[in-house]
Amino acid sequence: MSNCGSMGIERKRVRVGQKFRPDNPKHVQRVRERIEEDHGPGFELDGFEPDEGLAIFKRESNTVVTSHAGNDSKIIKLPQGTKQSDGKSRAVSLADTYPGYQMTTFEPHRRRAIISKLSEDVIRARDAISTALRAEPWDIQVSKREGLLKVRLTVGLMPPGRRHPCERSRIRPESAYPASAVGGGDDRSLRSSE
């Protein structure tokens, strides 16, 4: 696995005037929108110099190019405050920013996402499985080796309508064995009422 990457903080100094109020969300949002038009998303207010009328915005970036199972992948640092519910919008944004890549891992709690180049077969399989399980595509890991597809689900993935594996389920013995094999016929508590 090879790594080559760049890490850093990108800062933009914007002349906003002395009437700018860093504690006013509307002021901050207007300036952020101006910056994002030219430089893309992810900027946060970092400081304000009232004497000069300058607002300082920063964006953390940390991109590492690595290899996962023979596919080109990139680890993308997510902005502070990214939530699990932001997954779909991040997937679309990353696909636009990095043409040919799909988001394969989304970990907002670790502030990172992994994007990878995937073959058409892998994309189709991942999309079909995620649709069948009612899960997000990045929760399904699919790799192709020697003509076979290997599928791995994200740990803790519990699609709607499925039971957690730790939940107990009462198994009726007669469903698997004849009544004579489970102890005779006097104990009716485990048998279905017919």
pLDDT at 162 (0 to 100): 57
pLDDT, residue 145, reads 81
Q: Which residues pair with 105 in a beta bridge?
A: 114
**What pLDDT does residue 164 have?**
53
Predicted confidence at residue 16, as pLDDT, reads 92
Q: Which pLDDT score, from 0 to 100, does residue 142 have?
A: 87
- pLDDT in the model for residue 81: 77
Q: What's this model's pTM, rounded to 2 decimal places? A: 0.50
Q: What is the pLDDT of residue 61?
A: 59
**Mean pLDDT by groups of 10 residues along the chain of 194 residues:** 49 88 92 84 85 85 46 78 87 84 89 88 90 89 84 71 51 42 45 45
Q: DSSP string of 69-110?
A: TTEEEEEEEPPTT--GGGHHHHHHHHHHHSTTEEEEEEEGGG
Q: Return d(Cα 82, Cα 42) in angstroms, integer.
A: 10
pLDDT (0 to 100) of residue 28:
92
CA distance 139 to 106: 8
Coil, strand or helix at 192? coil
Question: Which of 75, 133, 153 has the alpha carbon at shortest distance from 107?
Answer: 75
The span from the CA of 23 to the CA of 187, in Å, is 72
State the Rg of the chain over Cα: 26
DSSP for 143-165 reads EEETTEEEEEEPTT---TTPPPT
